[in-house]
Amino acid sequence: MTVSTAPVPVAANASGTTQTTTRRNRLWALVIYILTALYFLLPLAATFYWSLRAERGTLGFEAYRRLFEDANFLPSFSQSIVNAIIAIVISLVIIVPTAYWVTLRLPKLRPVVEFITLLPFVIPAVVLSLALIILYSRPPLLLTRTYESSRVLLVCVYAALSFPYMFRAVDNGLRAMDVRALTEAAQSLGAGWPTILFRVIFPNLRVALISGALLTFAIVIGELTIALFMAQRTLGPYMANLTRSKVYEPSAMAIVAFAITWAAMGIIQLIGRGQQGSIGGGH
Amino acid sequence: MAYLTLTNVSKQFGETYAVQDFNLDVEKGEFVSFLGPSGCGKTTTLRMVAGFETPTNGMITLDGSDITHKSPNQRNMGMIFQSYALFPNMTVAQNIGFGLRVRKMSKAAISERVQEMVSLVNLENHVGKYPYQLSGGQQQRVSLARALAIRPNVLLLDEPLSALDAKIRVSLRAQIREIQKKLGITAIFVTHDQEEALSISDRIVVMYEGNVEQVGTPFEIYNFPNTQFVANFVGSLNTAVAEVIDRENGLLSVDGVQFASAAKMDGYARGDRVRIAIRPERFSFASEVKKANVVDCQIENITFLGSVVRVHILIGNSKFTMDTFNYPSLALPKIGAADQVTCSREAVLILGHANGSAN
Amino acid sequence: MKATLQSDVQPTNLTVRGAKRPSRLPIWHWLGVLPFFIFSALFLIGPTLVLAYRSLEDPDGGLSFVNYLQLTNPTVINAYSLSIRVSLTTAILGGLIGFLVAWAVSIGGLPRPFRSLTTTFSGVASNFAGVPLAAAFIFTLGRVGVVTALFELLGVDLYGTGFSLYSYTGLVLVYLYFQIPLMVLVILPALDGLKREWREAAENLGATPVQYWLHVALPVLIPSILGTMILLFGNAFGAHATAYALTGGLFNLATLLIGQQISGDVLHNPGLGFAVAMGMVIIMGVSITIYSILQRRSERWLR
């Protein structure tokens, strides 16, 4: 078989040097970025500007002062924070052992667990609210009669809704620390389970746990839908009320909410350097 | 006029020079390897030939025309990557035919050329498969076929065998060389593995820290290294510090032990301290054969490597290794015993003045 | 000197896993995961199953699809259709813009800080949704919003042209605020998966950048892009809080309809309400499934 080696001419529409292409790309990238940034910054800027105009004729933080002095603000805010903390604790206590066991002892259960962690995306908050009311407004599972029992239900639901994020965070953390090798090394050195959990697993999971906790916090703190239908006086319904009743305070509240979310996400980004940004829910 | 020339090519990244004053003439159909450790600039030079990097200085010409600033997609060169770089969404046949599709060849012509290439690399049974269904060696062969399909002017190979298993590496490099010879394509092969470079190249360019250390045939590079780096990097080497005793007769002293060398001593004066080098395989046991140099030594250790037996000896106060072929009736000395080894005058190389730095 | 192979460490009370031992799962292993399943059953699966069951109840107490047949109710149809329209639009628009932004901060060549800033902000923006987001947009484009006022200064009566924040257009505008970041976050890893060598190999073989994108990059990315757009669809479809805060719950969106149904049986038919809710779950389930399948496919190529 003879194989000729005469070169084949290239198409005539080949572009210029690689350097100009990269420069052109970078220009387009900048244009796209700036246009999108405008879209995202405009509402924030407008809101901030609005929040400074509570006092007639001058720019000041009057709206913020009124917000923080509002009789209902602090109670709802603290309720939300307490709810968030309890939900985080429940979630951590349930998810960490689950992720650990599924990784180490029960790998066959992984698909089932991962499916369950998909459920909060399949069941919208409003549908879940309806379902909860159906299930829990009648004996023997009567939980919606009193404010406190509804609150318990709400917190438990929040914990369940945080499972996807918590599980993903812990799972990534376990994978990053090669949990199997560490556990076996600890076992061969004679460590018992409590030692392994508290001296080996948890310390190495710190970053993952904090990320998961902060994400859960961000979701719970401003959650509206379920809190609304459970007649809870948390930050979400409070903010919704504010939007309908006051003029300037809602803008201050929006900026405060933004700042809190930014703080939470910023901390996650800082401690989890290089890991993917976190997607929230509750919208 | 050489087919591919690089003249005074350098590449600067910020303050550092990745490649400095690179000069090379490559003849048509020649197989040239760039050999050196990581960071020596060999890949950067290759990428400049390909067009993915632009030289800071210097000129690259192909068949007489200046291609220094031509974009990569106009140079008609085929490149093989270490990571194969096969398009994951295309079958073997589609990958190979990609360059031809870009050149708007007819379907029939593409199909024919693809068939030709597939037979060339012996992958007839895999034409419909996707890259993830192939082994590393198979993927690299597809990559080779894909590059050759466009009938490139030059074939560029960037450490193509580094990601493969040892056995495949050996067989594939032979295949690459065979195909290259058959097609008469000019090829540049980048590697850090000196055995690879020595076994398949027409010429080797040894590089270190952005500079060309030596250009020559494998035989020249191995047997007549110009610099200490080349001597050390290519093949294994014993080095020791010696004092010049007698310039005319080529006599040196290593810790009091006398060696006679056939190397030119013009640049050295009596009493100068120089660095000498002797390849391990140039030593033999004096009990078996006697050459020009017969020296006393002490056996420190013996390592059995299969076909080769490596004897670690002490001559004076300097450590040497001696490689000797293994055969069943080989009588090895005892560890700790005194013995005698021998080597020829030509085996004793002089690398230059001995400075403070150890190597 | 005989080497001893026995370790001095006391054996633990754990089962040593060796290759020769048959795998047995003691009951107490399951205890580790039991709380998880109980919790999920109580607060996720259980309620949903009960909802599903109730949606299949007909007036006589038996099981049938009678409620589902009534989904042709005009209110329901309108609500679904508006939800689908909004979700589709924001999925496609959000997907395209999100893709472009992700491209800009990765392959497009913008400096490193742009990327981490974008990732952090995307996390913030997608969590900002709900009341704060709606409020922010009201202050921007509401009837007395800052931008509306700016338009007035320029002599344009924004609301006079028929635009309203409390309409399909307004909703799309607001939803994009969390759709675009979601797309950016999910598609960035996929873009990172595009090996530089593919572009170089294509260039080397004679392809222009356009040809490379057409024949290699886009085909490889399509499963990811499509899958994420479907994720975006589901995301918008199930969104409640933002729409509620924006419109007071009075808009005819599927989620808002269910909300109204909870507050006060607006459909005058509880069973229908359950069917509407389950209809949502089915749509979401389908979209998540398609997304998962496409994700797996793209992982195979972009690993």
pLDDT in tens, B80-124: 999 888 998 899 999 999 989 888 899 999 999 999 999 999 999
Q: Which residues of B touch A5 (CB under 8 A)?
A: 151, 183-185
Which residues have CB under 8 Å from B138's CB, separation 6+?
B123, B126
Q: Which two tokens stand for residue C123?
A: 């996390």
Residues of C in contact with B103 (CB under 8 A): 206
Q: Which of B77, B103, B132 sits opposite C204 (nearest CB)?
A: B77
**What pLDDT, in 10s, does the model give residues A246-276?**
888 888 888 888 898 888 888 887 876 644 4
Q: What's the rounded mean pLDDT across residues C124-152?
A: 87
- For B99, the closest chain A residue by CA position comes to A10
- Report the run of H or E that residue B6 belongs to, with start and end: strand B4-13
Subunits close to A (at least 3 CB pairs below 8 A): B, C
pLDDT at C192 over 60: yes
Q: Is C201 on the interface with B (CB under 8 A)?
A: yes
Closest-CA distance of chain C to residue A145, Å: 16
Q: What is the pLDDT of residues B334-349, one digit of tens each?
A: 888 998 999 998 888 8
Contact A229, A129 (CB under 8 A): yes
Tell if the CB–CB gap between A6 and B100 is shorter than 8 Å: no
* For residue B177, pLDDT beyond 90: yes
Asked if A160 has any chain C CB less than 8 Å from its own CB, the reply is yes
Q: Residue C24's pLDDT is what? A: 55
Residue A278 in this model has a pLDDT that exceeds 70: no
Instruction: For B151, name the nearest residue in chain C, comparing CA atoms only.
Output: C205
Position C164: which residue type? S
**0.90 cut: is pTM over it?**
no
| Residues C207, B150: C-beta atoms closer than 8 Å | no
Q: State the DSSP H helix or E strand holding residue B57, giving kind and residue range, or none if neither.
A: strand B57-62
What is the reported pLDDT for B116? 94
Distance CA C256, CA C240 (A): 6
Q: Please indicate whether, in this complex, the C-beta atoms of C262 and A130 are within 8 angstroms of each other.
A: yes
Kindly list the residues from chain A whose CB atom is less than 8 angstroms away from the CB atom of residue C133.
43, 254, 283
Sheet holding B65-66, edge to edge: B16-26, B4-13, B57-62, B65-66
Region C272-301: mean pLDDT is: 87
Cα–Cα separations (whole angstroms), residue B252 to B273, B320, B356: 9, 16, 19
CA atoms of B162 and A100, how far apart (whole Å): 37
Share of chain A above pLDDT 70, in %: 89
Token look-up 């799972």 returns: A171
Name chain B contacts of A17, Cβ cutoff 8 Å.
54, 69-71
How would residue C67 be classed by pLDDT, with cut points 50, 70 and 90? confident
State the Cα–Cα distance between residues A194 and A213, nearest whole angstrom: 22
**B51, B88, B98 ranked by CB distance to C205: nearest:** B98
Computed on alpha carbons and rounded to an integer, the radius of gyration of chain B in Å comes to 25
Distance from CA of B150 to the nearest CA of C (A): 7
Q: Report ipTM for this prediction.
A: 0.81
Nearest to C124 among A109, A254, A261 (CB): A261
Q: Does C206 touch chain B (CB under 8 A)?
A: yes
Encoded amino acid at C156, one letter: V
Of the CA atoms within 13 Å of residue C188, those in its CB half-sphere come to: 22
Task: Report whether B291 contacts B284 (CB < 8 A).
Answer: yes
Chosen for mutation from A42, A130, A260, A271 (greatest number of chain C CBs closer than 10 Å) is: A130
Q: What is the mean pLDDT of chain C?
A: 84
Asked if A43 is an interface residue toward chain C (Cβ–Cβ < 8 A), one would say: yes
B40-44, B210-214, C143-147, range with the lowest pLDDT: C143-147
Token pair for A168: 């993903």
Q: What is the mean pLDDT of residues B196-218?
A: 94
Chain B residue numbers with beta carbons less than 8 Å from the beta carbon of A16 are: 71
Determine, for residues B98 and C200 on separate chains, whether the beta-carbon distance falls below 8 Å. Answer: no
Q: Does the distance separating the beta carbons of A19 and B54 come in below 8 Å? A: yes
At residue C25, the pLDDT reads 59
CA-based nearest residue to C229, from C294, C152, C135: C294
Helix, strand or coil for residue B21?
strand
Residue B241: phi and psi, rounded to 5, are: -90, 135
Closest CA to C201 of B137, B139, A68, A194: B139
Contact at CB, A265 and C128, closer than 8 angstroms? no
Cβ contact A130–C237 (<8 Å): no
How large is the average pLDDT for residues A45-59?
84
Interface test with B, best of A1, A2, A13, A17 (most B CBs within 10 A): A17
Q: What angle do CA B296, B302, B304 make, to 5 degrees?
A: 140
pLDDT digits (tens, 9 = 90+) for B20-71: 999 999 999 999 999 999 989 999 999 999 999 999 999 999 999 999 998 8
DSSP letters of chain A? -----PPPPPPTT--S-HHHHHHHHHHHHHHHHHHHHHHHHHHHHHHHHHHT-SSTTS--SHHHHHHHH-TTHHHHHHHHHHHHHHHHHHHHHHHHHHHHHHHHT-GGGHHHHHHHHHHHHHS-HHHHHHHHHHHHSSTTS--SSSHHHHHHHHHHHHHHHHHHHHHHHHHHHHHHTTHHHHHHHHHHTT--HHHIIIIIIHHHHHHHHHHHHHHHHHHHHT--HHHHHTT--SHHHHHHHHHHH-SSHHHHHHHHHHHHHHHHHHHHHHHTTTSPP------
C interface test, pick of A13, A122, A225 with most C CB neighbours within 10 Å: A122
H or E, element range at B119: helix B107-120
Which residue of C195, C207, C220 is in closest CB contact with B73? C207
Backbone angles phi, psi at B330, to 5 degrees: -65, 130
pLDDT score, position A271: 77
Read off the pLDDT of each residue in B166-188 and give the average, rounded to a whole number: 93
